[in-house]
Amino acid sequence: MRYVPFLLTLATVACGDGSATGPRDPASLHTQWVVESAPAGMTEAVVVDSAFWNPAALLLTGDDAVLEVEGPFSILFRNTGEEPLEMRYDLRFLDVDGFLVDNFIPFGQPVRLAAGQQVLQEGTFVIRSPPDIGRFGLLTMRIAARLALPEQ
């Protein structure tokens, strides 16, 4: 009976999203899609069908003022237009107040999208963050894209 308070404390600390290195509940995270530049009339040609990201790990950098935050991302893009497009994008991570913490530029760009084509982009992002923001202060991943017609 004397171990009951200890076990309740252990259960409270070990469960849910309270860990420092476990995955975060994806329902608490937000994703924004922004097209920064595009050929005339093609701003809405590419859409995001689905997006997932999760700041899953904090990595020490040797600098007490900076932590690395790492996690998976997966984005399904679709070209709704009738012309092929090339897209370059970066992932911008914002804190709970909407301020930019850091950005990440995925490899494998530009992304080529044929008319009507879906393309899955996935990988692992690594950004730097102040310790007070850490994993739980990140709220939004903004996908910022630049669209262009492919060069012939």
The predicted-structure confidence for 42-99, as pLDDT tens digits, reads as follows 999 999 999 999 998 888 888 888 889 999 999 999 999 999 999 999 999 999 889 9
The secondary structure of 25-93 as a DSSP string is -GGG-EEEEEEEE-STT-TTSEEEEEEEE---EEEE-S-TT-EEEEEEEEEEEEE-SSS-EEEEEEEEE
C-alpha–C-alpha distance, residues 107 and 96, integer Å: 27
Whether residue 140 has pLDDT greater than 50: yes
Locus of tokens 């790990």: 57
For residue 129, the cross-strand partners are 67
pLDDT of residue 152: 66
pLDDT band, very low/low/confident/very high, at 135 (cuts 50, 70, 90):
low
pLDDT of residue 25: 64
Residue 139 CB contacts under 8 Å (≥ 6 apart), including other chains: 28, 29, 30, 94, 95, 96
Rounded average pLDDT over 6-32:
51
Domain 21-148 has CATH 3.40.50: no
Q: Interior CA angle at 114 toward 111 and 115, to 5°?
A: 135
Q: Interior CA angle at 148 toward 142 and 80, to 5°?
A: 70
According to DSSP, residue 22 is labeled S
pLDDT tens-digit map of 99-124: 999 999 999 999 999 999 999 999 99
pLDDT band, very low/low/confident/very high, at 3 (cuts 50, 70, 90):
very low
pLDDT of residue 136: 64
Residue 34 class from Cβ within 10 Å (0-12 exposed, 13-18 middle, 19+ buried)?
exposed
C-alpha–C-alpha distance, residues 139 and 93, integer Å: 8
